[in-house]
């Protein structure tokens, strides 16, 4: 394989590959344009020659980044992700990636283009014009783009993923909010009689996610056996409320209920039955545990909004509904429950996720564990000495 470079403009070069002659004797060449210095062009020539010799050369695509991302959204993201995830991806593509790098041919996309895109997003990426996006938001953009371009490599659009050479932001890890037992007691007492009472109690006593709580049906609850089974989740999308199956086998799990939750569910089922009989045909019975007055599904965003108002009224630390899940896990760990059990209740795919997520709780547990071991050994040594004497 041979090739050479030729100057085309003030800072532009042509990389010309000589591919021999075809069956008619006509000379075959491939041309690539390179901006920069002669050395840049020669490096590009060497790269292309190596790829052709190694059999990994891919003909440059004329498709732009915007065109590819739109195709990726429809061909991969929409059929393979949850509706809410797809909508989030589409939003990031349309409002963050396309305006910044959408016009660049995907074959010409370089790490520098992406790095500049992230830098500008951090500086002035907010849609309201009030500054930049958070590091966590830009990291989400990076993960989406990396996933999409990995498919571009797999589908033969590009030879390598340029995001591999990009340094994404590294957000500082924020310690999660978890209410202590006293704060939790205040919360549970004050939410009695409110529409979010049952969702709050279930979240804080089982560790279920918001969508898992709101997706529960009475068929999933065994009041005699004292457990519930997570079979679906509820989500809010642009098309309205919908149900979906959990993503992993670990998420589809059995969770045993404490007495406080069982007592509430028994009373709640009775009240719900009375309401259904009173409303008659007006009651839309979907068998949901957590339902609106007419039996329809509760809006997840509305539940979170009502919960936030309640927390503010009680002057508790800023707490999201999702933090009730963290609260449950923290309570269990502080009581000495094995992390494996906590992991199973939360539906984590591995115990490593649980240990990493709740590492802030472990130091105190270690102190308690050492004290227990020390007391046990001290007692055994004292007993041994007494027996010898």
Inside any domain, residue 174: no
> What is the spatial distance between Cα 328 and Cα 203, in angstroms, rounded to a whole number?
8
Co-location of 74 and 111 in the same domain: yes
> What is the spatial distance between Cα 110 and Cα 211, in angstroms, rounded to a whole number?
39
Co-location of 238 and 267 in the same domain: yes
- State which residues form the domain around 364: 359-389
Region 220-246: what's the mean pLDDT? 92
Give the pLDDT score at 381.
83
> What is the spatial distance between Cα 372 and Cα 336, in angstroms, rounded to a whole number?
11
Inside any domain, residue 90: yes
Co-location of 363 and 338 in the same domain: no
Co-location of 239 and 344 in the same domain: yes
Inside any domain, residue 243: yes
Inside any domain, residue 173: no
Inside any domain, residue 271: yes
Co-location of 47 and 91 in the same domain: no
Are 343 and 207 in contact by the 8 Å Cβ rule? The answer is no
Co-location of 322 and 201 in the same domain: yes
Give the pLDDT score at 173.
74
Give the pLDDT score at 370.
67
Closest to 345 in 3D by CA, of 261, 243, 219, 244: 261
Co-location of 185 and 324 in the same domain: yes
Instruction: Name the pLDDT band for 115 (thresholds 50, 70, 90).
Output: very high
Q: What is the 3-state secondary structure (H, E, C) of the chain?
A: CEEEEEEEECCEEEEEEEEEECCCCCEEEEEEEEECCHHHHHHHHHHHHHHHHHCCCCCCCCCEHHHHHHHHHHHHHHHHCCHHHHHHHHHHHHHHHHHHHCCCEHHHCCHHHHHHHHHHHHHHCCCCCCCCCCHHHHHHHHHHHHHHHHHHHHCCCCCCCHHHHCCCCCCCCCCCCCCCHHHHHHHHHHCCCCCCHHHHHHHHHHCCCHHHHHCCEHHHEECCCCEEECCCEEEEECCEEEEECCCCCCCCCEEECCHHHHHHHHHHHHHHHHHHHHHHHHCCCCCECCECCCCCECCHHHHHHHHHHHHHHCCCCCCCCCHHHHHHHHHHHHCCCCHHHHHHHHCCCCHHHHHHHCCCCHHHHHHHHHHHHHHHHHHHHHHHHHHHC
Give the pLDDT score at 46.
87
CA angle 319, 216, 219 (to 5 degrees): 155
For 12-54, write each residue's pLDDT tens digit. 888 888 777 777 888 777 777 888 899 988 888 888 788 777 7
Give the pLDDT score at 100.
96
Inside any domain, residue 213: yes
For 306-365, write each residue's pLDDT tens digit. 999 999 999 999 999 999 999 999 999 888 888 899 999 999 988 888 888 887 776 666
Inside any domain, residue 305: yes
Co-location of 245 and 266 in the same domain: yes
> What is the spatial distance between Cα 90 and Cα 92, in angstroms, rounded to a whole number?
6
Are 36 and 11 in contact by the 8 Å Cβ rule? The answer is yes
The total of structural domains in the chain comes to 4
Residue 375 CB partners (closer than 8 Å, separation 6+): none
Co-location of 185 and 256 in the same domain: yes
Co-location of 76 and 50 in the same domain: no
For 161-193, write each residue's pLDDT tens digit. 999 999 999 988 777 889 999 999 999 999 999
CA angle 98, 101, 103 (to 5 degrees): 80
Co-location of 38 and 75 in the same domain: no
Give the pLDDT score at 313.
95
Average pLDDT, the chain: 89
Co-location of 386 and 333 in the same domain: no
Q: For residue 242, is it left (φ>0), alpha (ψ between -120 and 50) or beta?
A: beta
Instruction: Name the pLDDT band for 375 (thresholds 50, 70, 90).
Output: confident
CATH of the domain at 98: 1.10.150.130
Residue 311 CB partners (closer than 8 Å, separation 6+): 187, 318, 319
Inside any domain, residue 172: no
């Amino acid at each position: 394989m041979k090739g050479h470079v030729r100057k085309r403009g003030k800072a532009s070069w042509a990389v010309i590959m000589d591919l021999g002659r075809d069956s008619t004797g006509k000379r075959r060449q491939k041309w690539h344009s390179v901006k920069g210095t002669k050395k840049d062009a020669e490096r590009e020539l060497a790269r292309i020659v190596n790829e052709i010799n190694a059999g990994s050369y891919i003909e440059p695509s004329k498709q732009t980044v915007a065109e590819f991302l739109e195709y990726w959204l429809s061909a991969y993201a929409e059929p393979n992700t949850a509706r809410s995830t797809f909508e989030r991806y589409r939003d990031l593509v349309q409002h963050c990636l396309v305006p910044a790098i959408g016009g660049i041919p995907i074959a010409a996309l370089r790490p520098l283009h992406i790095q500049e895109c992230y830098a500008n997003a951090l500086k002035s990426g907010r849609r309201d014009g009030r500054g930049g996006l958070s590091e966590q938001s830009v990291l989400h953009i990076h993960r989406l783009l990396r996933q999409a371009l990995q498919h571009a490599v797999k589908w033969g659009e590009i030879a390598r993923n340029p995001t591999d050479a990009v340094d994404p932001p590294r957000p500082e890890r924020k310690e999660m909010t978890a209410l202590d037992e006293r704060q939790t007691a205040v919360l549970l007492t004050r939410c009695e009689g409110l529409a979010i009472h049952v969702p709050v109690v279930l979240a804080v006593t089982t560790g279920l996610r918001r969508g898992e709580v709101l997706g529960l049906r009475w068929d999933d609850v065994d009041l005699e056996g004292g457990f519930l089974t997570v079979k679906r989740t509820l989500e809010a999308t642009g098309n309205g409320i919908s149900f979906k199956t959990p993503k992993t086998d670990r998420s589809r799990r059995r969770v045993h209920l404490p007495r406080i939750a069982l007592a509430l569910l028994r009373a709640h089922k009775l009240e719900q039955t009375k309401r259904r009989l009173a409303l008659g045909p007006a009651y839309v019975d979907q068998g949901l545990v957590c339902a609106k007055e007419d039996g329809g599904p509760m809006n997840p965003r509305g539940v979170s909004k009502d919960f936030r108002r309640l927390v503010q009224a009680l002057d508790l630390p800023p707490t999201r509904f999702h933090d009730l899940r963290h609260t449950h896990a923290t309570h269990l760990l502080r009581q000495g429950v094995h992390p494996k059990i906590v992991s199973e209740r939360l539906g984590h795919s591995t115990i490593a996720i649980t240990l990493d997520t709740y590492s802030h709780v472990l130091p105190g547990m270690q102190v308690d564990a050492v004290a227990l071991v020390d007391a046990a050994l001290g007692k055994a040594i004292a007993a041994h000495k007494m027996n010898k004497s």
